[in-house]
A and B are shown apart, each in its own frame.
Chain A
Amino acid sequence: GDSVTQMEGPVTLSEEAFLTINCTYTATGYPSLFWYVQYPGEGLQLLLKATKADDKGSNKGFEATYRKETTSFHLEKGSVQVSDSAVYFCALSPSGYSTLTFGKGTMLLVSP
């Protein structure tokens, strides 16, 4: 079945550091890929998405590129802020379907 694997956290960074959170997936066909973020005490929010190979999703300074050849969708940000501290979830939806399969999530802690 479909699955998503994320790097384990917590990821601890200082403000303005470069962020990478790795995500790889297993799926048949051409799934759509997503990053969701969960801030403390809040619900899941969509951060960015990509629907086909080589697409780059971007939002709020975060980026991720859909790499079919490596089945990856790594999340990056050039300079993190304390307000980016949250749990980040990578997810996929199979081609033609809308249900999401999530990874376990990666906690990011950014200190001043």
Chain B
Amino acid sequence: GAGVSQSPRYKVTKRGQDVALRCDPISGHVSLYWYRQALGQGPEFLTYFNYEAQQDKSGLPNDRFSAERPEGSISTLTIQRTEQRDSAMYRCASRQNSGTGLSGANVLTFGAGSRLTVL
């Protein structure tokens, strides 16, 4: 697609429920990233993929968080047994592996985010 698409845009859930957040990257972008942004803070890295391979998951806060990208395109971030402290904006970004300038190889393009509220 033309941009990075995330769904749902807003999710309200009760503590203890599982949630799945979806990211559809820009067509042809090899790398996909997940970030979490708390209110008033900058985005914090969670994990990233090259194609379908999860390259780095060092930012996932605990084992309730997991992510997959089975076919190297769409990715799902899953949070099990949600807690109130999981409430945040979850942002996905994708990156192409070539090019220069503001759309070049080391530039991440972000989606609008999924705002999760855990009651």
Contact = CB atoms under 8 A, between A and B. Distances in A.
Contacts of B40: 104-105
Interface residues of B, number: 24
A93 B43 CA distance: 13
A49 B102 contact: yes
Residues of A contacting B: mostly: strand
A44 interface: yes
B42 A43 contact: no
Interface in B8-55: 31, 33, 35, 40-45, 48
Contacts of B4: 43
Given A46-B102, A99-B56, A104 B111 contact: no
A83 interface: no
A44 B48 CA distance: 17
Contacts of B44: 102
Given A98-B95, A105-B42, A43 B111 contact: yes
A105 B56 CA distance: 25
A59 interface: yes
Interface string B46-84: 001000000010000000000000000000000000000
Interface of B: 4, 31, 33, 35, 40-45, 48, 56, 91, 93, 95, 102, 106-113
Given A34-B107, A101-B45, A105-B41, 10 more contacts: A32-B106, A43-B111, A44-B91, A46-B107, A91-B42, A93-B106, A99-B33, A100-B108, A102-B44, A104-B42
Top-3 shortest CB links A-B: A102-B42, A44-B110, A43-B112
Interface of A: 4, 32, 34, 36, 42-46, 48-49, 51, 59, 89, 91, 93, 98-105
